[in-house]
């Protein structure tokens, strides 16, 4: 078995050369990993997935903090090591620029890859965020805070996956920096043939910094105009005034807000008021959002519930509770469960006229609620719990509940779930007339209760807070090693064992 060594240039070249199909395939692998992590159906004993908490070591001599982030799945395991400046820098002591690496191992423990972490981290974070972007109905205007690699890759993947819809990209940087000067050049350096193929050759780009006299006014304008807002800065205070989006004009449309730059309890990017508005209405006995318009409420999505409660300053400050958040993997799991059930039922009833879209739509409309999770607030108890049960017991995986790989004392939610399969099978064995009547009834329910997950994800207010998972590095790192071998890139040491 060979050891593949990939420099940051190698990784950047591989990521830049990915086709839309390759990116979609990689995103699907990310979705699957996040689904397994969130459902808790894989455990340490089975040796399939484990995501322990990171270990932090601090040096008073250098004021450097080093993070160790291990992870394991069926394809192997990895350890990411990142060193950066600590939070209490002494006067005159030089800053430690974030740097690190990811070491990937086979399931038997043989090192298979050693990868620079800089571009890898930005790319894998943006790839996870794109799982929500692909569902959005409107992505015409993108506004991004920051001009570093995270900002670049979030916009770059948005252009690759939804470029035919994107017309305007605003970059807001709170200081005039080298990266602010060069970020637009990175987009223009993308070959014209690629831009035309992805559909954004005519998209307009603009950079705004405080050196421009109209900075405050234009910031307000760019934030309000945005369909998607990316927050990609290590900020200790909110990046914009909350009233821009919470007042009457700001609530006229729903937005996807992605916050990935802050990663410590004392850090902030998005205003507390936005989070409070998003979860308003989830404290009732039924735990359901009852809003006349989707834009009056919202959904708070996180990559890891455990990590967000410990590390996301915005979540902590706003006092958001576990049952008011949804893990990204939970959303992925619901869709996947519906697709699997449709495939099973279609195979057994060749003459069926219902498609996977019908099943997904019916699943969205199933009505009931439980206070155990924000999923039930948005989706309805039957649909959320049924799909969880399908993933937990119907597919042969280990039992449901909290994954033993998520650490002790974890606030991970659990519960008993009913079978999705019986619901789908019952609908398929009914007469077509009964099916149509059921569909009409469910359509009426959809009109009466416009807060179902499908609407929120496509056109409502969705706030996604990511603090990062080592599992993301493992998934993307493993695939980058494969692509490097396929494309003849990187340095390969033969028979390394």
204-236 tens-digit pLDDT: 999 999 988 899 999 999 999 999 999 999 899
The label of the residue with tokens 């699943």 reads 363
The radius of gyration of the chain from alpha carbons, rounded to an integer in Å, stands at 23
Residue 83: pLDDT over 80: yes
Q: pLDDT grade, residue 453 (50/70/90)? A: low
Q: pLDDT grade, residue 285 (50/70/90)? A: very low
Q: Which residue has the higher pLDDT, 98 or 199?
A: 199
Task: Check residue 109 and give left, alpha or beta (phi > 0: left; psi -120 to 50: alpha).
Answer: left
Residue 63: pLDDT over 60: yes
Both tokens of residue 189? 């350096």
Residue 93: pLDDT over 60: yes
Q: Which residue has the higher pLDDT, 14 or 84?
A: 14
What integer is the mean pLDDT of 436-448?
47
Q: Which of 41-45, 264-268, 350-354, 462-466 has the lowest mean pLDDT?
A: 350-354
Please tell me the predicted confidence (pLDDT) of residue 342: 53
Both tokens of residue 386? 């049924």
Strands 111-116 and 3-6: parallel
Please tell me the predicted confidence (pLDDT) of residue 429: 29
Please tell me the predicted confidence (pLDDT) of residue 22: 92
Residue 118: pLDDT over 50: yes
Percent of the chain, pLDDT > 70? 68
Over the chain, what is the mean pLDDT?
76
Please tell me the predicted confidence (pLDDT) of residue 98: 81
Q: pLDDT grade, residue 92 (50/70/90)? A: low
Q: Which residue has the higher pLDDT, 447 or 62?
A: 62
Residue 294: pLDDT over 50: no
Strands 256-259 and 462-465: parallel
Residue 469: pLDDT over 70: yes
The residue count for the chain: 497
Residue 428: pLDDT over 60: no
Question: Could you write out the DSSP letters of every residue in 326-380?
Answer: EEHHHHHHHHHHHHHHHHHHHHH-TT----HHHHHHHHHH-----TT-HHHHHT-
Residue 29: pLDDT over 50: yes
Q: Which residue has the higher pLDDT, 343 or 67?
A: 67
DSSP single-letter state for residue 250: G
Question: Could you write out the DSSP letters of every residue in 187-244?
Answer: HHTS-HHHHHHHT-TT-EEEEE-TTSTTHHHHHHHHHHH-SEEEE-S--BS-SS-THH
What integer is the mean pLDDT of 379-386?
43
Q: pLDDT grade, residue 409 (50/70/90)? A: very low
Q: pLDDT grade, residue 421 (50/70/90)? A: very low
Burial (CB count within 10 angstroms: exposed 0-12, middle 13-18, buried 19+), residue 372: middle
């Amino acid at each position: 078995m060979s050891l593949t060594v990939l420099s940051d240039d190698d990784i950047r070249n591989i990521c830049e050369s990915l086709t839309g199909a390759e990116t979609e395939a990689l995103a699907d692998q990310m979705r699957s990993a996040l689904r397994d992590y969130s459902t808790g159906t894989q455990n340490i004993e089975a040796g399939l997935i484990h995501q322990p908490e990171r270990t932090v070591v601090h040096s008073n001599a250098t004021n450097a903090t080093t993070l160790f982030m291990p992870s394991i799945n069926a394809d192997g395991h990895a350890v990411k090591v990142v060193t950066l400046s600590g939070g209490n820098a002494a006067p005159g002591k030089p800053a430690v620029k974030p740097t690190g690496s990811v070491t990937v191992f086979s399931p038997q423990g043989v090192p298979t890859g050693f990868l620079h972490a800089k571009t890898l981290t930005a790319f894998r974070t943006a790839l996870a965020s794109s799982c929500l972007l692909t569902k959005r109905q409107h992505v015409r205007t993108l506004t991004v805070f920051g001009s570093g690699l995270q900002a670049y890759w979030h916009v770059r993947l948005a252009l690759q996956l939804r470029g035919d819809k994107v017309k305007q990209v605003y970059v807001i940087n709170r200081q005039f920096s080298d990266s602010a000067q060069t970020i637009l050049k990175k987009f223009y350096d993308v070959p014209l043939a690629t831009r035309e193929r992805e559909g954004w050759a005519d998209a307009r780009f603009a950079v705004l910094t405080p050196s421009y006299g109209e900075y405050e006014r234009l910031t307000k304008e760019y934030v309000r105009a945005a369909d998607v807002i990316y927050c990609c800065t290590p900020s200790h205070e909110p990046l914009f005034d909350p009233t821009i989006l919470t007042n009457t004009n700001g609530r006229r449309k729903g937005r996807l807000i992605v916050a990935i730059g802050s990663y410590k309890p004392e850090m902030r990017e998005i205003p507390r008021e936005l989070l409070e508005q998003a979860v308003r209405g989830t404290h009732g006995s039924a735990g359901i959002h009852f809003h006349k318009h989707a834009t009056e409420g919202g959904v708070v999505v996180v990559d890891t519930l455990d990590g967000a409660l410990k590390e996301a300053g915005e979540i902590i400050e706003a006092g958001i509770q576990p049952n008011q958040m949804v893990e990204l993997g939970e959303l992925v799991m619901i869709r996947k469960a519906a697709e699997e059930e449709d495939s099973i039922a279609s195979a057994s009833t060749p003459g069926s006229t219902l498609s996977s879209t019908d099943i997904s739509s019916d699943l969205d409309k199933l009505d009931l609620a439980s206070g155990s999770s924000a999923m039930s607030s948005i989706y309805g108890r039957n649909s959320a719990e049924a799909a969880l049960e399908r993933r937990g017991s119907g597919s042969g995986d280990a039992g449901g509940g909290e994954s033993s790989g998520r650490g002790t004392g974890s606030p991970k939610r659990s519960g008993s779930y009913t079978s999705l399969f019986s619901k789908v099978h019952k609908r398929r064995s009914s007469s077509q007339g009964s099916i149509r009547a059921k569909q009409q009834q469910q359509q009426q329910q959809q009109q009466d209760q416009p807060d179902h997950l499908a609407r929120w994800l496509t056109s409502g207010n969705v706030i996604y807070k990511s603090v990062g998972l080592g599992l993301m590095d493992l998934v993307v790192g493993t695939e980058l090693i494969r692509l490097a071998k396929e494309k003849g890139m990187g340095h390969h040491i033969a028979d390394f064992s």
